[in-house]
Structure 1
Amino acid sequence: MSLALQWADARPKVAGLHLDSGACSRQSLAVIDAVAAHARHEAEVGGYVAAEAAAPVLAVVDEAAAMLATDPPALVHFTALASHRGVAQPLAEMVAVCREAGVPIVVDGAQAFGHLDCNVGADAIYSSSRKWLAGPRGVGFLAVRPELVARLQRRLPPASWDVPVTVLQSFEHGEHNAATRIGYSVALGEHLAAGAELVRDRLAEVGRTARQVLADVPGWRVVERVDEPTAITTLEPTDGADPVAVRAWLIAERGIVTTACELARAPFEMTKPVLRVSPHVDTTAEDLEQFAEVLRTAP
């Protein structure tokens, strides 16, 4: 059975056409069951008792290098894949440049984790569960190299307080939803079982197909190159269409889920809002052709 069929069979049947994994993917039945089972266990024995039981379970790189060499900042924050463009940024190259300059690099992997190869030696990376990993909403992760942790100063409790709480432990000092963490761990397991490289290759294939299918839709321009190795395609209106209104119409009238990215997402780069299509591995060419036909009739 293909990866696409395995992925689809593991989930509830979709109501309509879901092309919005960059916002929130569809959780598998196993993830849903794991979250529900833990929530039920919390109701039986108490939330904190249950939580304790669950615990075990681009071309600008050269410019950046020159800048880091002459005027190095305290750290670099780098978005590996933006939410308003399906363009993969040169993550591995930036990590290498920062390492050469001795500047730590923190990676925003919200759209990249589970989508692109993020295992490139960054000093820290964070991401969410609900996007390409298809886990529960409201949970994510932060991974930090010990060398960077040693340079950090705790804020709460204040560093001046003599209490045995490390910087990373201070991030855990608060409320959390244990059930969603369990669900996220299941989603991670599913991703690894499917094969991270296989998933990345399939997402790139779906992205190429989407751009080819959508290239000839009147009134819209595909922003990304056809061979961009991501599943995200953004469509810029050329005849005055409003992506926000079109998105609302697609959901209400055709049961098709997409995202409208407004200028606030990237005010220094975007010149007009775009309609974002972010299908997952189970999306077929027929699904994308159906979307293209519907988009041709959108008001």
Structure 2
Amino acid sequence: MTALPHDSVRAAWTALRTATPMLHLDTAACGRTSIATRAAITAHLELEAELGGYVAEAQADAETTTARRLLGELLHFATDEVALLDSGSAAGAQLLAAWPCEPGDRVWIAPSEWGNNIAAFADRGLEISVMDVDDHDHVDFEALQRRLRTERPNMVHLNAFNSHRALAQPSREIIEICAAADVPVVIDTAQALGHIEVPAGAAAVYGTGRKYMCGPRGVGYVAVREPWQQQLTPRAPAVNLGGQAVRNLESREAYVAGRVGLATALRQHVEIGPAQIRERLGAIGRALREGLADLPGWSLVDPVDAPGSIVALLPHEDIDLYQLRADLVARKVVTTVSAKERAPLDIVRPMLRLSPHVDFELSWIPQIRDLLTARHR
């Protein structure tokens, strides 16, 4: 097993955080916030207590603008094409509510689509159609091109990176194919931002800052490119704030302290180096899958060389994964169970998800193996 690249990235990332007794393998749920991020949140809360929430919000305008600018740069959007919301789910819901579509319009998805998104499409009255995929579960380019010759959906929706396993759709190529047919591509980037490269060219993207970006909970984002911004029709509970159409998706009642904290987390991410972070995360995922490939009682869901740091494990026996997760937490290891509702068209049986960040060390793999094989001895 080769050494992990960019030890300087690990050192810089770790130096920004307090020490923890836990082995965090749950970044795909929540990354660990830095000391400075928490300090920025606390400082703004103090300001709200002294000046009042709305006066403090006005004074934080430069920081929230910084958050929009840095998100835009990482996602390939302009600052005034980015809005801040309460979560990735809230961002997706507000975007879908304002999107130029009517009940009965079609949205094309991959079989691995996030379950909450499928429910949101149905609630909006959209007709869901599943795209063909190849042997690697990626959208089939030739099948997509053939279908676009005779059909035109309202949008193609993608998860840039899946929540439950190491599956990244080829977003760049799909955007290019759909652009030739004048079909917008909308991307859920919740698991992709700070994890894998997000390509330019999507009509809109949305997500949350609490995962690989390690921002606070309670802050999400949506970015919409022109000319799609002018086709948005913001609906309640959005409040018209004036200015760019996408900003009208922002709620007037906001977790401003969290937005200030996200600005700090974004700055730190950029200062360490997004490309180096992505490269190290990819190497960690490969090393962890390689180290667990022959784990007794378990099978890898994805190939060893799959992208990103998410590792999905399927137990051979019918065991209670929720109890296993609780047992692991008691042993100071944090993981997640991916049940069918996460991706109802893709998940057949619940699986265990590991998702480390750049602080992961190869020396931790034997400990993980021991914990997961204990029940098979």
Cα 1:75/1:35, change in 2 over 3 Å:
same
Alignment partner of 2:366 out of 284, 289, 295: 289
RMSD (CA atoms): 1.9
- Counterpart of 2:143 in structure 1 is 63
1:147 CA displacement: 1.2
1:56 CA displacement: 1.9
Amino acid at match of 1:271: V
Amino acid at match of 1:284: E
Alignment partner of 2:257 out of 179, 201, 205: 179
Alignment partner of 1:98 out of 178, 192, 212: 178
Structure 2 residue matching 1:168: 3-state secondary structure: helix
- Counterpart of 2:248 in structure 1 is 170
1:34 aligned onto 2:112: no
Runs of 4+ aligned residues of structure 1 deviating over 6 Å after TM superposition are none
| TM-score w.r.t. length of structure 1 | 0.93
Superposition pairs for residues 129-208 of structure 1, below 5 Å? 129-156=209-236, 167-208=245-286
- Counterpart of 1:231 in structure 2 is 309
- Counterpart of 1:269 in structure 2 is 346
1:127 aligned onto 2:182: no
Query: Is the 1:154–1:166 contact (alpha carbons within 8 Å) kept by the matching residues of 2?
Result: no
- Counterpart of 2:287 in structure 1 is 209
In structure 2, list runs of 5 or more residues that go unmatched: 1-6, 64-137
Query: Is the 1:17–1:255 contact (alpha carbons within 8 Å) kept by the matching residues of 2?
Result: yes
| TM-score w.r.t. length of structure 2 | 0.75
1:242 CA displacement: 2.6
- Counterpart of 1:245 in structure 2 is 323
Cα 1:157/1:210, change in 2 over 3 Å:
closer
Alignment partner of 1:44 out of 43, 47, 50: 50
Query: Is the 1:156–1:170 contact (alpha carbons within 8 Å) kept by the matching residues of 2?
Result: no
Structure 2 residue matching 1:250: 3-state secondary structure: helix
Q: Please list the CA deviations of residues 122-170 of structure 1 after superposition, one character each: whole Å capped at 9, or x if unmatched.
A: 1111110110000000101111102111222233499xx9x96764232
In structure 1, list runs of 5 or more residues that go unmatched: none
Structure 2 residue matching 1:150: 3-state secondary structure: helix
1:73 CA displacement: 0.7
- The count of residues paired between Structure 1 and Structure 2 equals 295
Aligned partners of 1:238 and 1:64: how far apart in 2?
35
Aligned partners of 2:308 and 2:29: how far apart in 1?
14
1:8 aligned onto 2:14: yes
1:296 CA displacement: 1.1
Structure 1 residue matching 2:368: 3-state secondary structure: helix
Query: Is the 1:25–1:131 contact (alpha carbons within 8 Å) kept by the matching residues of 2?
Result: yes
Aligned partners of 1:97 and 1:241: how far apart in 2?
43
Structure 2 residue matching 1:280: 3-state secondary structure: coil
- Counterpart of 1:221 in structure 2 is 299
Cα 1:235/1:60, change in 2 over 3 Å:
same
1:23 aligned onto 2:29: yes
Aligned partners of 1:59 and 1:76: how far apart in 2?
11
